[in-house]
Structure 1
Amino acid sequence: MKAAGIDEVLLGEARAAVEAAGAVLRERYTTHARVRNIAEIFEELQANDNAVLPELERRLLAARPGSRWVEDELATGAMPEGEWWIVDPAEGNINHVHGMPEWAVTATLMRDNRPVLTAVHLPLAGDTYTAVAGHGATLDGEPLHVSTKTGLDAALVATGQAQPHEDEETYRRIGESVTALLTAGLVVRVSVPATLQLINVAAGRMEAFWQYSEVRSGLVSGALLVTEAGGVVTDIHGDPWTPARRDFLAAAPGVHRAVSAALAPVK
């Protein structure tokens, strides 16, 4: 079987795994915040991970014998060669424990530092976004296409922080970048998680997402979905993006250059 055929089979396994995990997290979800302080927040975040992560790991490693597992969902930078699963068992976990609906389960297979297949499941909506490198991106089997807008003045764009307790320099850059795009664009959203912003870019609902981050788990699934939906994924300066880059930009082709130019003064 050719690599593409293998990846299509693996995608089915990945989709089944994230949907099963999503069902567990949906049972744990309430529409009110169930945390009162920082200790309870981290306790609930860990409880959600523990509820689904072991089974996700078992299923995905069994689906691709010889693949390896990234243990730290907040890991950054380039990876060793070979095949690795990057999984976020509760992408937007902070929203889940605060009773908000913006959360998902993601699984992406990386091959030599390139995402080659991904499945992102939104349990509350029942939606599953998937992509295989070179074969397009879909929402429940229907093809995704990025926006056709060509003017930044009509663009809806977004950013957000990758994790709690970013360094002060990163916060400064986020703030200055938001100001730059508020001036150049139509509307700027600042929220988490990254993956849910990126599926909106892939689906043509928004024109761009950028982030000052190397945290892989929030970027790799969306990077593949946007690319396969016809978008452009680079670093903020327009150079090819890899997990080793310190920042990230995904945009519709018609506005990518303008977003990059608007962000260029932010150092």
Structure 2
Amino acid sequence: MSAAMTPGVDEVLLSRVVAAVTVAGATLRDRSTRHARGVSLREVVDEIHANDAAVLDVLKAPLLEARPGSGWAEDELAGGALPDGEWWVVDPAEGNINHVHGMPDWAVTATLVRDNRPVLTVVHLPLTGDTYTALAGAGAELNGAPLHVSAKTDLAASLVGTGQARPGEDETTFRRIGESVTAMLINGLVVRVSVPATLQLIHVAAGRMDAFWQFSDVRSGLVAGALLVSEAGGTVTDLHGAPWTLAHRDFLAAAPGIHRAASRVLAPLA
């Protein structure tokens, strides 16, 4: 799923990205409240945009300076393949809707994508101080300690999750989400339906959850978790089991022991 990084050089780059994302996280933390902000849809959207702008103001320049010649994927809700070369895929407030509503489930993410393969990622949770990192070919870590996916082999014993990728998706996607939840409630143990995707995928990478799937291709919500899960020993594919790329319309990341069973349940709904 990912292309190997260059030893030495990329560890230095990773440390610079961690520093930049941590500073950006402090900005987002300082904007957080314990109450919901905004009543009308316009007010909520304005709060979301204000969060994004404040974080990007301190994050964008350091990342571009850290990797001269890299591009910036402007639309965080976009999907599909990028042009060749290196691109920063960033979510300045992953879980922004939670932040605006006074909930704790949000993060700042930055992923370097090289020729459409994620090769470096940092996910920082400002409220806890936890930082998840991964380098292609070098493993995934939480605060410097290695991450490993679940050892489960029985889907019936598994905690799995999904969620919508963006507001206002089409009705067909919403129906697929509902049908997939029903299918997994029948075949799995417990199903979580929540946002954002990255905060479920870090649980898969850490072995706390066993699988996550999504019927969408919003790249900023998937690339960080895809690299973390694969580098933690997980399997990342589309719902039919083909190796996942940015061009795929659906996504499955799972512990190897349950991946095939999860794919069999979900593939008919793709």
Structure 1 and Structure 2 fold alike (TM over 0.5): yes
Which amino acid letter does the alignment assign opposite residue 213 of structure 2?
A: W
State the match for 1:246 in structure 2: 249
Are residue 141 (structure 1) and residue 144 (structure 2) matched?
A: yes
1:265 CA displacement: 2.1
Are residue 128 (structure 1) and residue 121 (structure 2) matched?
A: no
Percent of residue pairs bearing the same amino acid type: 72
The structure 1 residue matched to 2:193, chosen from 178, 190, 193, is: 190
Which amino acid letter does the alignment assign opposite residue 173 of structure 1?
A: R
Which amino acid letter does the alignment assign opposite residue 154 of structure 2?
A: G
TM-score (norm 1): 0.98
Query: Whole-Å Cα distance in 1 between the matches of residues 6 and 191 of structure 2?
Result: 39
State the match for 1:215 in structure 2: 218
Structure 2 unaligned blocks of 5 or more: none
Which amino acid letter does the alignment assign opposite residue 33 of structure 1?
A: A
State the match for 1:79 in structure 2: 82
The structure 2 residue matched to 1:36, chosen from 35, 39, 42, is: 39
Query: Whole-Å Cα distance in 2 between the matches of residues 97 and 24 of structure 1?
Result: 14
2:107 and 2:125 in contact (8 A); partners too: yes
1:148 CA displacement: 0.3
User: Which consecutive segments of 4 or more residues in structure 1 shift more than 4 A?
Assistant: none
Query: Whole-Å Cα distance in 2 between the matches of residues 65 and 36 of structure 1?
Result: 42
Structure 1 unaligned blocks of 5 or more: none
1:56 CA displacement: 1.0
Query: Whole-Å Cα distance in 1 between the matches of residues 173 and 125 of structure 2?
Result: 29
Are residue 9 (structure 1) and residue 12 (structure 2) matched?
A: yes
Query: Whole-Å Cα distance in 2 between the matches of residues 230 and 173 of structure 1?
Result: 28
1:52 CA displacement: 1.2
State the match for 2:102 in structure 1: 99
1:55 CA displacement: 2.1
The structure 2 residue matched to 1:226, chosen from 225, 229, 242, is: 229
What per-residue deviation string (whole Å, max 9, x for no partner) do you get for residues 115-151 of structure 1?
0000000001110000000000000000000000100
Query: Whole-Å Cα distance in 2 between the matches of residues 104 and 224 of structure 1?
Result: 16
State the match for 1:20 in structure 2: 23
Please provide the CA RMSD for this pair. 0.8
